[in-house]
């Protein structure tokens, strides 16, 4: 992290509120997960069985479900067409496990049906993976040598991090909607249990919102700090 971050009040003015939101979102999702991970569903289906039920409902019998190490490491890998669930989700018949597993199965359904948000996110993934770090490097070099072209180009590259997170939001919310609809239609959870699963998925979605806001505030800081009136000559 560049040393001027530690001494520039403008940095803290922009980033502290966003950082607070990130911390709140992380506490929220952990609290919701821990609560409903201890509440078992009436049907007693594990996360693996719930994900399989969602996949079967969509006719996606070819997608595998595997266990992956860690906590809250659940994800869908579109390259190998595999849903990977953490041990607590894979093996446990809890409301949280059913909700999270169904959400990951929702991502599999998105890919299989050609959901537009997935296509947009995949299109910008290559540049959003490496562009932001390169952008910060170019921005700082441009600032040190007073080269405005590098500064603007660096900011433009960094903005792809925000764009990627912005596109990710509807993808995540859509996967949760698909999950909750499938849970209801297949009877995986009762109405009361679905309310718990919804709380877990909503809390998880808020972590994406908080991360996006943090990136947005960082982007705005770069714009104001390096191109605005506060820029140091």
Catalytic residues: 104
Which of 170, 69, 42, 64 is CA-nearest to residue 116? 170
Sequence-distant contacts of 183-189: CB under 8 A, at least 24 apart: 183/50, 183/54, 183/98, 183/99, 183/102, 185/57, 186/53, 186/54, 186/57, 187/43, 188/41, 188/43, 188/45, 188/50, 188/53, 188/98, 188/102, 189/41, 189/42, 189/43, 189/95, 189/98, 189/99
Residue 79 neighbours by CB under 8 Å, 6+ apart: none
Is the Cβ–Cβ distance between 134 and 108 less than 8 Å? Answer: no
Characterize the bridge pairing of strands 75-77 and 82-85. antiparallel
Which of 89, 98, 80, 122 is CA-nearest to residue 41? 98
Sequence-distant contacts of 140-144: CB under 8 A, at least 24 apart: 140/2, 142/226, 143/226, 143/231
């Amino acid at each position: 992290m560049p040393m001027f971050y530690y001494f520039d009040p403008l940095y803290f003015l922009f980033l502290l509120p966003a950082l607070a939101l990130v911390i709140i979102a992380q506490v929220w999702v952990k609290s919701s997960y821990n609560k409903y991970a201890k509440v078992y569903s009436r049907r007693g289906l594990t996360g693996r069985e719930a994900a399989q039920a969602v996949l079967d409902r969509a006719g996606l019998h070819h997608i595998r479900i595997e266990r992956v190490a860690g906590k809250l490491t659940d994800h869908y890998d579109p390259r190998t067409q595999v849903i990977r669930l953490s041990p607590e989700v894979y093996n446990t018949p809890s409301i949280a496990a059913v909700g999270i597993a169904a959400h990951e199965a929702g991502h599999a359904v998105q890919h299989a049906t050609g959901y537009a948000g997935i296509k947009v996110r995949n299109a910008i993934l290559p540049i959003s993976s490496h562009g932001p770090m390169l952008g910060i490097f170019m921005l700082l070099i441009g600032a040190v040598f007073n080269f405005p072209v590098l500064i603007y180009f660096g900011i433009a590259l960094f903005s792809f991090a925000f764009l990627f997170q912005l596109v990710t939001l509807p993808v995540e919310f859509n996967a949760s909607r698909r999950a909750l609809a499938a849970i209801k239609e297949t009877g995986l959870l009762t109405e009361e249990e679905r309310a718990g699963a919804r709380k877990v998925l909503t809390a998880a979605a808020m972590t994406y919102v908080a991360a996006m806001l943090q990136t947005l505030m960082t982007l705005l800081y770069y714009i104001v700090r390096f191109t605005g009136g506060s820029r140091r000559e």
